Structure 1
Amino acid sequence: MKLLSLNCQGLGNPVAVSSFESVIRFHKPQVVFLMETKLSNDKWEKTRYELGFEDGDGVPADGNTGGLCLFWKKEVKIKVKISDKNHMDVKRKEADGDSKWRFIGVYGCPEKENHHLTWDLIRNLHCGNDESWLCAGDFNQISSNAEKVGGRLVQEQKLIGFNNALSDSGLMDLSFRGYPFTWEKKRDVLGLIEEHLDREVANKK
């Protein structure tokens, strides 16, 4: 099964949807997790249909910020356990009703002072879990200063806190291919800043 996770930074206009349709056609995912959709409930349902997915669930945006969506093809049986503005916790079901695996789409707290809430979320999701699980999304944090170019270095305490949350939850980074940075911003004084904020982590099962 192929899963695509993407911070789309808004799907509220036809140009953005058309651009994302090209991504869908190229990768042909069966499940898509989208962050920062900036869509209300009625609009993400319309977008799901336009992108060619039969089923889905979502968390509406708060005004013009946030918003999460999970879309899937009809051959994939998914049950959404819980969702809020920072995560969607789902299970894939087999025909006999048994759980195949667990997927958690994460959109980490973007405010630096709230990064610890993402660490707590990861640990809470792990608590009592004995299944295979994959956690993917935009964590809004880096795991080392090697994942950042430009700007000021991230405090070591922040890096340790994030890495400890992953380690305590038995999660390992699945690595990546391609360009190493998934976010960028132009700052007048600090120049271009790039960071590796999106990642996929999983347990050993």
Structure 2
Amino acid sequence: MEKVRRRCGFNCGIEVGATGSKGGLCLAWKEDINVELKSYSKKHIDVLIKENVGRVLKEEIRMEAFRKALDDCKLGDVGYLRIWFTWERGNLPETNIKETLDRGLLMRSG
């Protein structure tokens, strides 16, 4: 998987090997993205991605590419129960910021 990742232009990444002919995970990124590996197993890769806020247009292009990759791989958001947001700051409505910082993915059928 590392050879394929590098051939696609992603010099950074983590691969979790397949068991026989089933499974396996790969997360790949370019050098200009700061990725901190939190944990991984045969079923998940958990990372924290830190990027500069000033690159809004570039970020939107990356998000669109990420959405397309999820769609191509037939992966969908697991969803949530109860509280939607995992981070919140500010008490007043005009300064309140809420973010969902963690997501889970699953294989869509069909």
**Structure 2 length-normalised TM:** 0.52
> Which position in structure 2 is the counterpart of 1:135?
103
Question: Structure 1 residue 183 and structure 2 residue 109: aligned?
Answer: yes
What is the rounded CA distance, in whole Å, between the counterparts of 1:136 and 1:60 in structure 2?
A: 20
**Which residue of the partner structure matches residue 44 of structure 2?**
87
| Greater helix share, structure number | 1
* 1:69 is the counterpart of 2:26: yes
Deviation, 1:136, is 4.7
* SS of equivalent residue, structure 1 residue 133: coil
Q: Shift of residue 58 of structure 1?
A: 1.4
For residues 62 and 81 of structure 1, the distance between their equivalents in structure 2, rounded to whole angstroms, comes to 22
Q: Give me the whole-angstrom Cα distance separating, in 1, the residues matched to 2:51 and 2:8.
A: 25
After TM superposition, the runs of 4+ consecutive aligned structure 1 residues lying more than 2 A away are 129-132
Q: SS of the counterpart of 2:103?
A: strand
Q: Within 1, Cα distance between the matches of 2:104 and 2:7?
A: 24
Q: Give the drift of 1:135.
A: 1.5
Is 1:60 paired with 2:28?
no
SS in structure 2 of the partner of residue 46 of structure 1: helix
Residue 45 in structure 1 maps to residue 2 in structure 2: yes
Over the aligned positions, Cα root-mean-square deviation in angstroms equals 2.7
Distance, in Å, in 1 between the alignment partners of 2:9 and 2:51 is 22
Percent of paired sites with the same residue: 35
- The structural deviation recorded for 1:79 is 1.0
Q: Deviations over 1:160-196 (max 9, x none)?
A: xxxxxxxxxxxxxxxxxxxxxx532xxxxxxxxxxxx
Q: How does 1:18-33 map to 2 (within 5 A)?
A: none
CA distance in 1: counterparts of 2:23 and 2:50, whole angstroms: 28
| Equivalent position SS for 2:39 | strand
**Given residue 103 of structure 2, which amino acid in structure 1 is its aligned partner?**
C
**Which consecutive unaligned segments of at least 5 residues does structure 2 have?**
53-77, 88-98
- The residue aligned with 1:16 is none
Determine the structure 2 residue equivalent to 1:78. 35
How many residues matched?
69
What's the TM-score once normalised by structure 1's chain length?
0.29
Q: What's the CA shift for 1:72?
A: 0.2
1:85 Cα deviation after fit = 1.4
